[in-house]
Structure 1
Amino acid sequence: MTAQLPSTAAAFLRTVNEHAPAGFITLFTEDAVVDDAGREIRGREAIREWAAHDIFAANVTFEVHNVSGTDGDATITTRVDGTFDRTGLPDPLIMTFRVVGERGKVSGLTCRLPG
């Protein structure tokens, strides 16, 4: 389904699903901001550390359920899987990701449980 996604969002999903941290971090602008369920991560280096722990060490993968928006502002609903602690999380874990793009790079990423 990533072929039907706006290109920046597709690259975000692809690098996570292919477990490619080097490719993942190059998608972000130097001053990008990630809002992970209210926890704010600012700047590429902080995003690299967050992703290393919360995405790549946990072997996270996404299964796309829905997509809306454009390359500059796309919202993706996915089923999230991986080897992370699921205590207190819904099963299945469905999350929405808002990917804000700027000249082909991610300038903002918001990660939320739907609703």
Structure 2
Amino acid sequence: MITPTVPEPIAHFIERVNAHDEAAFLDAFTADGQVDDWGRTFSGRDAIQAWSAREFIGSQGVLTVEEVTQTGGQVSVVGDWRSNHANGRSRFTFDTDGEKIAKMTIREG
């Protein structure tokens, strides 16, 4: 299977997520960045960190990329998410602002 090419800064972000690097994960977001996890929104570094400690980096998640699409400043990555919290095919949509992530939205893949 050929792994799709993931554009920067999302490629580095996924690499750091899969390495469970919480500091790099948080640093990837803009100061007012957001995570929308199936309709639950977490805004700002402190809220994202608290969510991630329970459900993302803290749950030892790993994303295996299967599909990538890019439209303007938005990148959509579909892949197999495996963690101690949740598992399954998921779609991660990233709105970028320069080299930072302004918003990451997680939905069914």
Q: TM-score, normalised by structure 2?
A: 0.90
Q: Does residue 26 of structure 1 match 2:21?
A: no
Q: Secondary structure at the match of 1:57?
A: helix
Query: Runs ≥4 in structure 1, deviation > 6 angstroms?
Result: none
Paired position in structure 2 for 1:77: 78
Q: Does residue 42 of structure 1 match 2:55?
A: no
Q: TM-score, normalised by structure 1?
A: 0.85
More displaced 10-residue stretch of structure 1: 68-77 or 10-19:
68-77
Number of residues of Structure 1 aligned to a counterpart in Structure 2: 107
Paired position in structure 2 for 1:96: 91
Which blocks of at least 5 consecutive residues in structure 1 are unaligned? 87-91
Paired position in structure 2 for 1:89: none
Paired position in structure 2 for 1:110: 105
* Aligned-pair identity (%): 28
- Partners in 2 of 1:95 and 1:33 — Cα distance? 18
- Partners in 1 of 2:84 and 2:45 — Cα distance? 24
- Per-residue deviation at 1:11? 1.9
Change (3 A) 1:39 1:27: same
- Greater strand share, structure number: 2
Which blocks of at least 5 consecutive residues in structure 2 are unaligned? none
Paired position in structure 1 for 2:12: 11
